[in-house]
Structure 1
Amino acid sequence: MNLKELLSESKGITSNSKEVKPGYIFVAIKGTQADGHHFVEEALQRGALWVLVERDVDLSDPRILKVKDTRRALAELAGLFYGKPSEELRVIGITGTNGKTTSTHVVESILSRAGIKTGLMGTIYYRLGERIYEYEGRTTPDPVKWHSTLRAMKEDGAQAVVCEVSSHALDQKRVWGTRFYMVAFTNLSQDHLDYHHTMENYFLAKARLFTEYEYEHALINADDPWGKRLTTMAKNVKTYGRDGDLKILDFSTDFEGSRLRVECEGRQYHFSSNLRGSFQAYNLSLGVLLGFLWGLSAEVIQEGIREVYVPGRFETYMGDGFVVVVDYAHTPDALGKLLKTARGLAKNRLIVVFGAGG
């Protein structure tokens, strides 16, 4: 029995046994904290139509089906259940250690200015225009929420959706079955080693977006050493950076905003934005390159990046004789770049208040 046949009479899909209702398909996932195979009996008692497992569970029930990879099965089922929404949208997936949130907001602003109704899924929220579907969920949600949110955005009029795609999500196949229009890589530095253990594993998880998924364009930061390596693994690559296909020629920033000068296909362009910080050179360049690949004019791109609001990303508040900057930086690389930028902008003392979870 194939997945389509399993779905023919199903009323829902879940990997949480507590959510199972009569007619649901329960998929047992071995997670980092709990193993769904321990809750198969509960799912059956709750009326599961089918239960998918990837190992023996010492239960005899005709509704239990064994598959090779339950994570992959869950994502494929979710995609089918919600009608493969990524095939009706232009989905942009952005991965990397730092810059994902700002880059997704830059892209959303550019496309929206071009008249393309664009949804956004990431660390802060899942949003389409003024409508918020969820606040502060996972950077990249589980497969059911991923595909259901794409479907909801499509039904609400979205033409494109730009998403942050985390290394955890790629390793756990949360976005499996997604057809991307463009994928992008920002950079790679130390983070999530409690999960991936080594930088090599961390990189290979990120690289899956470029080696295992369908897409038309790959945008890669050519100045990042891991990005250079990724260019040899991806297809249809366009790079950005000091030595990219979209070449950063000059960049300056202060509390008024940033100015960017780039060269692309032999022509130079000047852009300005309210975004502040030296790291914005790359976030803005990614957006500019994506806009050009989309076929947008430099004028439309400029309008898109002129005013971009990103909560918690070098968010500036002016006081009487002082400035407060709020930023989400939480990795060594991100915090270092943040402090370097702040020190360059500050005229007097720089006071840092830094908190860490754990």
Structure 2
Amino acid sequence: MNTKYWKVDNSVGNLEEYPQVLEASEFLKKNEVVAIPTETVYGLGGNAESDEAVGKIFQAKGRPSDNPLIIHIADKNQLNAFVKSIPDSAAQLMGAFWPGPLTIIFQKKDGTLSEKATAGLETVAVRMPNHPVALAVLKSCQLPIAAPSANTSGKPSPTTGAHVLEDLNGKVAGILDGGATGVGVESTVIDCTEGIPVILRPGGITKEQVEAVIGEVRMDKALTDLASAPKSPGMKYQHYAPNAPLYLVNGSKLFLDSLVAEKKAEGLRVGVLTTEEQVGAYEADVVLACGYRSDLETVASRLYQTLRSFNDAGVDIIFSEMFPNEGVGQAIMNRLEKAAGHRVLVE
């Protein structure tokens, strides 16, 4: 397959009238799949009403078909076509955070969306992205678009068009390059279908921000109990993993240093994931700074880029510092734990 690659300046107005956006929208209307930028990561979009289009998404990514997809919309009124009702908590969250990195779980209407998009569940995950190119495409095609991250399943999510091209060139109809994403980790997913809302996946909107709007929310026990079955898109299987095995290190710098020295003595090429504050403090073969510990939003925005950079560096093993498990740190640690396959070395 010849993958079309369009570049779009996301700072200009009337993007929905641009030829690149119009062509990408036509591809989507024809049930082809197109990668589009959002404020979190690049998504691999396809018509959520079409089994054919959704099937192409799973095929391109190599994603298990029992893993549901998030539906992207440009207008809240689109919900009426495939959602049974909008709970008060969901309406409040939509008012506060849409467009933005928050995905809300609703009870779905039958016979509207592709069953493949929702993995046969009675619920559907929906968000309105806060990115001018994504919104322009959604407005232009006037379709609900299913869009998981536009990467090979299990690998670090893409935050640039070049990442998508690296993973999916020849596997998708088109890539709409609208520049680097901002948030850098996927959206927060919250289930508003019953009782107290439950955060199924931490992301760009923190638990504290959500509670400031709707009051008490709970965290899904599957986030910490590996025996529980996750209900959120993107949480069922190992994700975000670099090529080399990644280990999280719960301990002092001296402990991490000893791990590095041990593996270097074995002849391995060792990588360390740290922050700008500590980038000169380690003697590993490759030391990469992932933002500033003093500003965890910078860590989130650079996380996937840093994991991909270890692939380019050709390391054999990676040790990563850990981060506070609060605020956006919850999303960072969730992604790192998934990338490491929950491998943690404790001092």
Give the structure-1-normalised TM-score: 0.31
Structure ranking higher on relative contact order (CA contacts 8 Å, 6+ apart): 2
Q: Larger Rg: 1 or 2?
A: 1
* Structure (1/2) with the larger strand percentage: 1
Give the structure-2-normalised TM-score: 0.32
